[in-house]
Amino acid sequence: MNKKSAIQFEARIITANMLVSGNVLYLDEKRCWDENIANAQIIKNDEDLARLNNMSQDAVMNSIIVGPYVMPVECHSAGLQPVSKRELIRASGPTIPTGFPEKGKPNV
């Protein structure tokens, strides 16, 4: 397990799974759905939340994603880190070798 760098602040982002593949996705700064949590758009305020939620619902309606939800993250100097173990594993892939190259995600 990697030692985490100091937390700078806590925030929230939006995640979902891709409809076609089930891959884990994050809503990013360019309003795209991105596999890399580092690019996730941080929710700044309630207005932002409403706007991003609307975008998520559009993506659901357009058959791009499934089951979007808001998740907490910690912002470190090294980037965004999920708070829960579940989300760490979602972000990084299984913690055991799968026979395939792992995604370049934060270490659990």
Partner 1 sequence: MYRYDQFDHTIVRERVNQFRDQVARRLSGALTEDEFRPLRLMNGLYLQLHAYMLRVAIPYGTLWSKQMRMLAHIARRYDRGYGHFTTRQNIQFNWPKLEDVPDLLADLASVEMHAIQTSGNSIRNVTADHFAGVADDELEDSRIYAEIIRQWSTLHPEFSFLPRKFKIAVSGAPTDRAAVRFHDIGLQMRQNIRGEVGFEVLVGGGQGRTPVIAETIRDFLPKRDLLSYLEAILRVYNMLGRRDNIYKARIKILLKETGLDRFAALVEEEWERIRGGALDLPLDEINRIRAYFAPPRYELVVDPDAAYQAARRSDREFDRWCVNNVLPNKQPGYGIVNISLKPVGKAPGDATADQMDIIADLAEAFSFDELRVTHKQNIVLGHVRLADLHTVWQQLDAAGLATANFGLASDIIACPGLDYCNLANARSIPVAQRISERFADPERLARIGAIRINISGCINACGHHHVGDIGILGVDRRGEEYYQITLGGDPADNATIGEIIGPSFSYDEIVDAIETIISTYETIRKPEETFSDTWRRTGATPFKETLYGPAHN
Residue placing its CB nearer to partner 1 in the complex, 32 or 60: 60
Which residue's entry shows tokens 């995604």? Answer: 103
For partner 1, which residue of 23, 54, 57, 107 counts as binding (CB under 8 A)? Answer: 23
List beta partners, residue 12.
Answer: 72
Instruction: For the beta carbon of residue 2, count every other beta carbon within 10 angstroms.
Output: 9
Residue placing its CB nearer to partner 1 in the complex, 20 or 44: 20
State the pairing for strand pair 65-76/7-18.
antiparallel
Residues 27-86 that bind partner 1 (CB under 8 A): 60-63, 66-67, 83-86
Which residue's entry shows tokens 């932002």? Answer: 48
Q: List residues near partner 1 by CB under 8 A.
A: 17, 19-24, 60-63, 66-67, 83-86, 89-90, 93-96, 98-100
